[in-house]
């Protein structure tokens, strides 16, 4: 059964993490800015328990869909805290890009994430860049490609070039084309397919986002 707005908000204070997570996922889908304050309060409470990282992930994603630039400092503080469940950092990077832009194609939040050396934070930021189809200026495109090329064969995160390749469908220039050609010949099929689509100006079908 699909949860109504108020039912989802009520679940945010449930004693069971799985039910809180269900509420967060529904609020993320609804993307109703009137729920942002309650989502933020729930997140601030949830991050006190390191065991509930899956629920934290969904609350951060919900805040990314409902919040405002005023929530970015909280997200940045959380991003700089050490944690063992680094998937949470993916959500933080995504939400920082969604909420932190002064204008639609503002690259500053994504560039900030690239500069932090926080595991998977950049991956989440680049995912948002691709999903939002942000059209960055050349200097910011260079920053993204510098990062992607420096980590092209990261054995721990071997699909890291995927989101830059998807995002590059909306970019141009010789360096972008050279990056996409390299990706299109890669033995990782998901990256090669994304790059081939991008070379043809298509964003393609994104991998499902949790």
Q: What is the pLDDT of residues 2-38, one digit of tens each?
A: 999 999 999 999 999 999 999 999 999 999 999 999 9
Count of C-beta atoms within a 10 Å radius of residue 91: 29
Report residues of the chain scoring pLDDT below 70.
none
Q: What percentage of the chain carries pLDDT values higher than 70? A: 100
Give the Cα-Cα-Cα angle 39, 41, 46 (nearest 5 degrees). Answer: 90
**pLDDT tens digits, 103-119:** 999 999 999 999 999 99
Quick one: tokens of 112? 């900030």
> Rounded CA gap, 129 and 135, in Å?
9
Q: Which DSSP state fits 200? A: T
Q: What local confidence, expressed as pLDDT, does residue 41 receive?
A: 98
The per-residue pLDDT for 23 is 98
The predicted pLDDT at position 161 comes to 96
Alpha-carbon distance 68 to 36, whole Å? 8
What is the phi-psi region of residue 70: left when phi exceeds 0, alpha when psi lies from -120 to 50, beta otherwise? alpha
pTM for this model (two decimals): 0.96
Q: Is the dihedral of CA 135, 140, 143, 145 positive or negative?
A: positive
Q: Report helix, strand or coil for 13.
A: coil
Instruction: Report the C-alpha gap between 79 and 89 in whole angstroms.
Output: 6
- Look at residue 37 in the predicted model and tell me its pLDDT: 98
For residue 199, the SS3 value is helix
Mean pLDDT, the chain, integer: 96
pLDDT of 195 reads: 97
Token output for 51: 């065991």
Q: What token pair was written down for 73?
A: 């400092």
Cα 50 to chain centroid, rounded = 20
Element (H, E) at 74: helix 72-79
């Amino acid at each position: 059964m699909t949860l109504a707005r108020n039912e989802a908000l009520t679940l945010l204070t449930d004693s069971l993490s799985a039910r809180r997570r269900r509420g967060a996922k529904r609020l993320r889908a609804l993307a109703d800015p009137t729920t942002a304050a309650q989502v933020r309060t729930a997140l601030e409470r949830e991050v006190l328990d390191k065991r509930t990282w899956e629920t934290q992930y969904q609350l951060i994603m919900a805040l990314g869909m409902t919040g405002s630039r005023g929530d970015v400092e909280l997200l940045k503080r959380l991003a700089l805290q050490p944690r063992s469940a680094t998937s949470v950092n993916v959500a933080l990077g995504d939400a920082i890009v969604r909420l932190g832009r002064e204008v639609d194609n503002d690259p500053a939040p994504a560039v900030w994430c690239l500069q932090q050396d926080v595991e998977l934070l950049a991956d989440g930021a680049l995912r948002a860049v691709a999903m939002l189809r942000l059209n960055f200026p050349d200097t910011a495109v260079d920053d993204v490609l510098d990062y992607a090329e420096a980590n092209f064969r990261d054995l721990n995160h071997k699909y890291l070039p995927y989101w830059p390749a998807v995002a590059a469908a909306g970019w141009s220039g010789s360096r972008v084309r050279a990056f996409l050609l390299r990706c299109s010949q890669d033995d990782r099929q998901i990256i090669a397919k994304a790059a081939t689509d991008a070379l043809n100006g298509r964003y393609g079908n994104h991998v499902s986002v949790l």
